[in-house]
């Protein structure tokens, strides 16, 4: 009879598989069926990220599993809550309160055509006590929060009061993402306060009326941000310019997707980059045309760059001016650059809708960059 694999090798195999197929839990489940030696590590990854939907009967089944083996709650690191038209059974969710190692909560709003502002607001407001329990039950504190809309083909209206309630339920959040699929409706007297320890913010101008956005970006907590991602915004806007003048020097990571009506994105990017310093290490930008990425690169200041990622509207690698990019990256400003990526967006929601445009052919067109070993693949590939 052959000797069994060492437990260390089994764990390493399962860990590697979990990194390759993070959205395919059934593959991990198959590993758990091999033997008891494989089951323990498989269970860790299988329950590390859980997603709940109000209509899914599997929620009750999961609660039954937790009841039989409460230690599973200590495995949960990430909770994704898919909020649809049906209300959640709060009595069921309350049984998933003590998640001592919970680190992130992602709230998806999946509203049908018949769901109006009051319906979505009512669902979220009804769950606010649960959000607070999850936040308080975590010994390490919930440090990541995302409020997004599942792809339904329409933007979802939310009131300022609802957003404020959600944020106040997670006071320890450091990484916050507010999706661009919402219409945040102003009610006049309610203001949104960011968590005091927030360091990383992803926000879209499409979600907020100008008055509310101006209030948000002027919030005192914004001065402590070290990583900022701005989408669908006019970078020449007074409130944005004022923010960068005041706090741009603290930024270490910056993602910019300028307003679609802004014809010259390079000028818009330059208008805010002039207020950053050599603290900045990571930069991501979205160019409308392939040759525009050269203009974007020309805007970047000298720094100890870790990663530069440029998204471009190109169908294949032949549309990119690789030889000119090779010349541009030979500039002294990028002498310490570690990774350079060129990618394009694919249709569909989620972070895995990215295609790497750096191929073996494009590497031949960028011999100097290739020799330096800075040409990177997909962020998730």
Residues 266 and 347 in one domain: yes
Per-residue pLDDT band at 364 (split at 50, 70, 90): very high
Residues 259 and 338 in one domain: yes
Q: Which residues form the domain of 18?
A: 1-46
Residues 178 and 37 in one domain: no
Residues 257 and 145 in one domain: no
Residues 285 and 154 in one domain: no
Residues 277 and 303 in one domain: yes
Number of domains in the chain: 3
Q: Is residue 192 part of a domain?
A: no
Is a pLDDT exceeding 90 seen at residue 261? Answer: no
Show which of 160, 184, 208 is a domain's final residue.
Answer: 184
DSSP 102-161: --EEEEEE---TT--HHHHHHHHHHHHHHHHHHHHH-SS---EEEEEE-S-SS-EEEEHH
Percent of the chain surpassing pLDDT 90 = 18
Model's pTM, two decimal places?
A: 0.80
Structure tokens at 247: 């706090």
Residues 65 and 24 in one domain: no
Average predicted confidence (pLDDT) for the chain: 78
Residues 245 and 380 in one domain: yes
Q: Is residue 210 part of a domain?
A: no
CB atoms within 10 A of CB 23: 9
Is a pLDDT exceeding 70 seen at residue 186? Answer: no
C-beta pairs of 354-358 under 8 Å, 24+ apart in sequence:
354/311, 354/378, 354/379, 354/380, 354/381, 356/381, 357/312, 357/314, 357/316, 357/317, 357/320, 358/317
Residues 95 and 24 in one domain: no
Higher pLDDT, 193 or 228: 228
Residue 161 belongs to a domain with what CATH number? 3.80.10
Residues 42 and 95 in one domain: no
Q: Is residue 213 part of a domain?
A: no
Residue 300 contacts by C-beta under 8 Å, 6 or more apart in sequence?
273, 283, 308, 333, 334
Residues 32, 21: contact at Cβ < 8 Å?
no
Residues 104 and 117 in one domain: yes
**What's the whole-number mean pLDDT along residues 60-71?**
79
CA dihedral (235, 241, 247, 249) in degrees, to 10, reads: 70
Residues 55 and 32 in one domain: no
Q: Is residue 344 part of a domain?
A: yes
Is a pLDDT exceeding 70 seen at residue 113? Answer: no
**What's the whole-number mean pLDDT along residues 290-294?**
84
């Amino acid at each position: 009879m052959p000797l069994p694999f060492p437990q260390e090798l089994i764990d390493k195999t399962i860990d590697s598989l979990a990194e390759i197929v993070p959205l395919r839990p059934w593959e991990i489940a198959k590993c758990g069926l091999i033997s008891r030696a494989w089951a323990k590590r498989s269970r860790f990854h299988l329950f590390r990220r859980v997603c709940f939907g109000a209509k899914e009967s599997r929620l009750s089944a999961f609660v039954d599993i937790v009841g039989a083996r409460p230690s599973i709650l200590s495995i949960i690191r990430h909770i994704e809550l898919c909020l649809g038209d049906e209300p959640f059974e709060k009595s069921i969710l309350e049984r998933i309160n003590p998640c001592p190692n919970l680190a992130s909560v992602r709230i998806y709003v999946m509203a049908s055509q018949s769901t109006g502002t009051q319906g979505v607001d009512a669902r979220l407001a009804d769950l606010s006590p649960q959000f607070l329990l999850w936040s308080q039950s975590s010994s390490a504190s919930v440090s990541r929060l995302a409020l997004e809309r599942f792809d339904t083909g329409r933007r979802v209206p939310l009131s300022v009061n609802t957003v404020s309630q959600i944020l106040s339920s997670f006071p320890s959040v450091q990484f916050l993402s507010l999706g661009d699929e919402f219409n945040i409706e102003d009610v006049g007297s309610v203001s949104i306060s960011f968590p005091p320890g927030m360091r990383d913010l992803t926000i879209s101008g499409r979600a907020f009326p100008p008055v509310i956005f101006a209030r948000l970006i002027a919030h005192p907590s914004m001065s402590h941000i070290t990583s900022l991602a701005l989408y669908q915004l006019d970078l020449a806007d007074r409130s944005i310019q004022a923010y960068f003048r005041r706090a741009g020097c603290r930024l270490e990571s910056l993602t910019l997707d300028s307003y679609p009506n802004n014809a010259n994105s390079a000028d818009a990017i330059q208008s805010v980059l002039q207020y950053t310093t050599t603290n900045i290490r990571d930069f991501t930008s979205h160019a409308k045309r392939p040759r525009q990425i050269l203009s974007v690169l020309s805007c970047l200041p000298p720094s100890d760059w870790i990663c530069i990622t440029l998204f471009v509207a190109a169908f294949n690698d032949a549309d990119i001016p690789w030889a000119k990019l090779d010349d541009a990256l030979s500039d002294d400003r990028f002498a310490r650059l570690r990774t350079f990526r060129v990618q394009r967006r694919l249709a569909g929601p989620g972070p895995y809708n990215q295609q790497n445009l750096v191929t073996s052919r494009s590497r031949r067109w960028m011999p100097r960059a290739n020799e330096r070993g800075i040409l990177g693949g997909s962020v998730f590939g």
